Chains A and B, each alone.
Chain A
Amino acid sequence: EPEVTQTPSHQVTQMGQEVILRCVPISNHLYFYWYRQILGQKVEFLVSFYNNEISEKSEIFDDQFSVERPDGSNFTLKIRSTKLEDSAMYFCASRTGTGGPQPQHFGDGTRLSIL
């Protein structure tokens, strides 16, 4: 069964450094998302992306965050200057565009630890 893949599985970075999290969505999917989950808390929406542009972003997704689809397969989340509170599990998700409100399928996540 096709799946969303994310790399790296774990990223440790010094505060203030830039980090790029990478995702390869399922190949025929058209809608892409990033969520984060701080340890012990609920999954929170960050941003949605369709047709090479951001569809919606949450209050969390401030100017330090950006997303890009640099080619036909990758979808990246960049955090420009990381803060301690950015430590979380980051999930990429994707869904197909056909047949009504199709479910989002999640990758295994990248655990980001800011020191």
Chain B
Amino acid sequence: GQNIDQPTEMTATEGAIVQINCTYQTSGFNGLFWYQQHAGEAPTFLSYNVLDGLEEKGRFSSFLSRSKGYSYLLLKELQMKDSASYLCAVRPNTDKLIFGTGTRLQVFP
């Protein structure tokens, strides 16, 4: 089967760093994508990894280990506006995305 796991909720303080983990088991692998979703809004693309290693995009970085079926999203210099759900999604051996349930991040002042 296809399974993507991520923590349900996390909290952090403004200015801090937070790491959101994601583990996956899918039929094939052709990329892992991170999306941000504010309540009632569309998922917004943040970052993706196809090969092992770290991809950095400003305050956001994403890491992938294909052998471990593991990824994380790192958010630095947290701002209040970063309070949102963060969705881990995998593209398996077909052209679709399989989403995890999302991690709801609350940033406190």
Main SS at interface, chain B: loop
Q: How many residues of A contact B (CB 8 A)?
A: 24
A105 to B44, CA, bound (A): 7
Chain B residues near A101 (CB, 8 Å)?
30-31, 48, 50, 91
Chain A residues near B72 (CB, 8 Å)?
none
A104 to B15, CA, bound (A): 30
Q: Which of A36-44, A65-73, A80-88 contacts B (4 or more CB under 8 A)?
A: A36-44
Output the least CB separation between A22 and chain B (Å).
15
Q: A48, B96: Cβ atoms under 8 Å? A: yes
Taking a contact as CB atoms closer than 8 A, the residue among B44, B95, B98, B99 that contacts A55 in the complex is: B95
- B residues bordering A, Cβ < 8 Å? 30-31, 33, 35, 40-45, 48, 50, 87, 89, 91, 94-102
